[in-house]
Amino acid sequence: MKHCTDKDYFEEWLDYDRETGEFTWKKPPAKGVKAGETAGWCNKQGYRVLGLKNKDFRLHRIAWLLEHGEWPNGELDHINRIKGDNRIENLRLATGSQNSMNRSKRNDNTSGYKGVSWHRNRNKWQALIGKNNKLKHLGYFETMEDAVNAYTRASAAMFGEYCCNEA
């Protein structure tokens, strides 16, 4: 039996369309599944996953294997932050830190902008940025726009191609 991180193993079961990021079954993996059907499902975190031989695999990792011939070493980042978009052009190797830099604003954000919040005691906007579990204060600002600009500049300088300043 082939090893489950071997390219040939997945090529035996799956077709991968690098332009759309979609996977279809070459042969049925179980009763009720037909060749040509879309493979996998979306898990709670938003990643596309499939089960094969009693093991679950994230499809973006399989896409990487099929395109590059080796299982990804470390994490894969979805460049556009859409976890179900497994087009090869949307995937890149990343460290855990780099992957976390390419995230949208948090759900509990009230300003609408990453790294920007209202400081009640000072009656000003503040900008903060974090890296490697350390928070850096970028300053207090009279306008939200100035705080957003400070965060945007710091994010670009700190995170480079992995920075995400979109709301």
The CATH number that applies at residue 34 is 3.90.75.20
Of 94, 113, 146, the residue at which a domain comes to its end is 94
Task: Please give the DSSP secondary-structure letter assigned to residue 100.
Answer: H
Amino acid at residue number 14: L
**Residues with Cβ within 8 Å of residue 37, at least 6 apart in sequence:** 24, 25
User: pLDDT at position 30, please?
Assistant: 86
C-alpha 152 chain-centroid distance: 20
Q: Does residue 75 surpass a pLDDT of 70?
A: yes
Contact yes or no for 102/166 (Cβ under 8 A): no
What's the domain range around 45?
Answer: 7-94
Count of domains for the chain: 2
Across the range 133-148, mean pLDDT stands at 95
What ranges make up the beta strands (E) of 37-146? 41-42, 48-52, 55-58, 75-78, 91-94, 116-119, 124-131, 134-141
User: pLDDT at position 1, please?
Assistant: 46
User: pLDDT at position 167, please?
Assistant: 58
Task: Please give the DSSP secondary-structure letter assigned to residue 161.
Answer: G
Q: pTM (2 decimals)?
A: 0.79
On whether both 116 and 77 belong to a single domain, the answer is no
| CATH number for 149 | 3.30.730.10
User: pLDDT at position 128, please?
Assistant: 94
**Nearest-CA neighbor of 7 among 72, 55, 102?**
72
pLDDT in tens, 81-129: 999 999 999 999 998 888 888 888 888 888 999 999 999 999 999 999 9
Whether 20 maps to a domain, the answer reads yes
- Which tokens go with 88? 């090869």
Q: Which helix (H) or strand (E) holds 59?
A: helix 59-68
On whether both 17 and 86 belong to a single domain, the answer is yes
38: β partners: 24
